[in-house]
Amino acid sequence: MKVLLLENIHPVAVQQLEGRGYEVERRSGALSELELIESLADVQLLGIRSNTHVSERVLEAVPHLEAIGCFCIGTNQVDLKAAAARGIGVFNAPYSNTRSVVELVIGEIVALARRLPEKTQRMHDGVWDKSARGSHEVRGRTLGIVGYGNIGTQLSNVAEALGMRVVFYDTADRPAHGNARRMASLEELLAVADVVSLHVDGRPGNAGLFGPEQFAAMKPRSMFVNASRGMVVDDVSLRDHLLSGHIAGAALDVFPVEPKAQGDPFESVLRGLDNVILTPHVGGSTQEAQEEIGWFVSGKLAGFALEGSTALSVNLPEVVTPPLESGHRLGYLHHNVPGVLARFNALFAEHEDNVTGQHLATSGELGYVVTDASEPLPADALAELRSWDDCLWARTW
C-alpha cells in the first residue's frame, strides 16, 4: 500500500497516512506526464497540489491507482471525468482555509476603518501626519455580508465578537448566526451596511453582481471588501466610486484577470488609489490552512481506500460510510443502469449472508453501493460480481 505525495504537501498528511498503514513517499516538486506515469508504477494513492496535471493518458497507464487527493481547493488539474470512468476517487479541501479568509477580511476591515494603507504609505514617504480624521472604530458599525455560506457565517461570528452589527443577504435560506439579521434583498443590505463584504460562490450568474447600481446604492463613505471571486465585481465602477469619495476604502483579494505565474505583472484599474488594499489572492494562503488541508485530504483518501467512504468526493457518488467496527464490507462502483441493486442484493440472499447495513448513491452515469454483512461473500460470488457488465470495481474490507 503506497502513497506518493508531490508538491510539498504538509507533513501532517504523511503522519496520518503512515498511521493508517501506508508507505508514503513525499517529494517537493510537481511531475510531468511521463515522470508521473513512471513514479506511479506501484502507487495506490496520489497527492498533488495545483501544478501536477493528471491527464487521461496518466490514468490509462496506472490502472492500480485508487484515488487522487488534490491538497488545494481547485481540481481542474485532474481529468475528473476520465478518473470517474475508471472508478478513481478524487478529493479536495474546499473548506480548510475558511478561517484564514475570515481573519484576512477582519484585518482589512479594521485597517480600512483606520485608513492604514494611506497612513503607512505616508510614513514610508517620510511624512508624520497624526490625525483622527476619517478614522473609526469598527465596534458598533454594521457589516453587510453578501453570501452567508462557510466563510460568510464564520465572518459573521468573528465580526460580532468585535462588537460589529451583522446583516446578511443570501439567495439560499440560511439561518442567522448569533445576533445577525437576514436581509430580504441585496438593496436592503446595501442601504444599512457601513462595510459590505462579498462571499458568494462562483456560479456563472454571479458575474458582474456588483456594478455601478450596487456601488451607488451603498451608504456614503462606506467600505467594500471582496475576497470571493474577481468576476463578481466591476472594478472600473469601484474605481469611480472610490475616486468620487462615495466609497471610503476597499480591499480586494481577487480580480477578474489574475496573473498566472509567480512574479508576473499585475494590472488593475485599482492600482495606486488611496485607502485601497490589494492582495494577490492570498485569503486562504496560510501555514495553518496548509496543515488543515494536509490533514483533511489525507483523511479523505484513507477513508476511501480503507473504508469505502466517498464523502466529499468531487467525481464519485457520495456515500458516507460509518467506520467498519465488525463484520465485512463490500463496495461496488457500477454504471448507473436499472436493476443493478436487485441483482446485487440477490447475491447476498443466495449466499444467506445477512446484510447489516447498506449505503448507496447515484450521480450521473455512476452508482455506488457499500454493503456491510455478517459474512464475506464467497470468492466465486465476488468473481461473478466483478464479471457483470456494469461493474467498475468491487472491493472488500
Ligand X SMILES: NC(=O)c1ccc[n+]([C@@H]2O[C@H](COP(=O)([O-])OP(=O)(O)OC[C@H]3O[C@@H](n4cnc5c(N)ncnc54)[C@H](O)[C@@H]3O)[C@@H](O)[C@H]2O)c1
CB of 284 to ligand X, least distance (A): 3
- For residues 70 and 333, which CB has a smaller minimum distance to ligand X in the complex? 70
CB of 281 to ligand X, least distance (A): 5
**Annotated catalytic residue 351:** no
Q: Which stretch in 3-11, 176-184, 281-289, 360-368 sits in contact with ligand X by CB under 6 A?
A: 281-289
Q: Which stretch in 58-66, 113-121, 200-208, 334-342 sits in contact with ligand X by CB under 6 A?
A: 200-208
Of 25, 60, 201, 288, the one binding ligand X by CB under 6 A? 201
Q: Give yes or no for residue 254 binding ligand X (CB under 6 A).
A: yes
Rounded distance, CA 50 to CA 345, Å? 41
**Annotated catalytic residue 281:** yes
Pairing of strands 276-278, 328-335: unpaired
CB of 4 to ligand X, least distance (A): 26
Q: Which stretch in 63-71, 165-173, 345-353, 375-383 sits in contact with ligand X by CB under 6 A?
A: 165-173
- H-type helices in 87-194, by residue range? 98-113, 116-124, 150-161, 186-192
Q: Which stretch in 111-119, 198-206, 300-308, 388-396 sits in contact with ligand X by CB under 6 A?
A: 198-206
Instruction: Give all strands (DSSP E) within the chain, no chain letters.
Output: 2-5, 23-26, 45-48, 67-70, 89-91, 142-146, 165-169, 181-182, 195-198, 222-226, 247-252, 276-278, 328-335, 355-363, 366-373, 391-396
CB of 134 to ligand X, least distance (A): 27
Size of the site for ligand X (CB under 6 A): 30
Q: Give yes or no for residue 286 binding ligand X (CB under 6 A).
A: no
**Annotated catalytic residue 229:** yes
- For residues 279 and 358, which CB has a smaller minimum distance to ligand X in the complex? 279
- For residues 69 and 147, which CB has a smaller minimum distance to ligand X in the complex? 147
In degrees, rounded to 5, the angle at the alpha carbon of residue 134 between the alpha carbons of residues 130 and 136 is 100
Rounded distance, CA 200 to CA 395, Å? 39
Tell me which residue of 230, 224, 237 sits closest to 281, measured CA to CA: 230
Task: Report helix angle 11-19 to 287-307, nearest 10.
Answer: 20
Rounded distance, CA 309 to CA 357, Å? 14
Rounded distance, CA 137 to CA 143, Å? 13
Which residues contribute to the site for ligand X (CB under 6 A)?
95, 97, 101, 146-152, 169-172, 174, 199-203, 206, 209, 227-229, 253-254, 281, 283-284
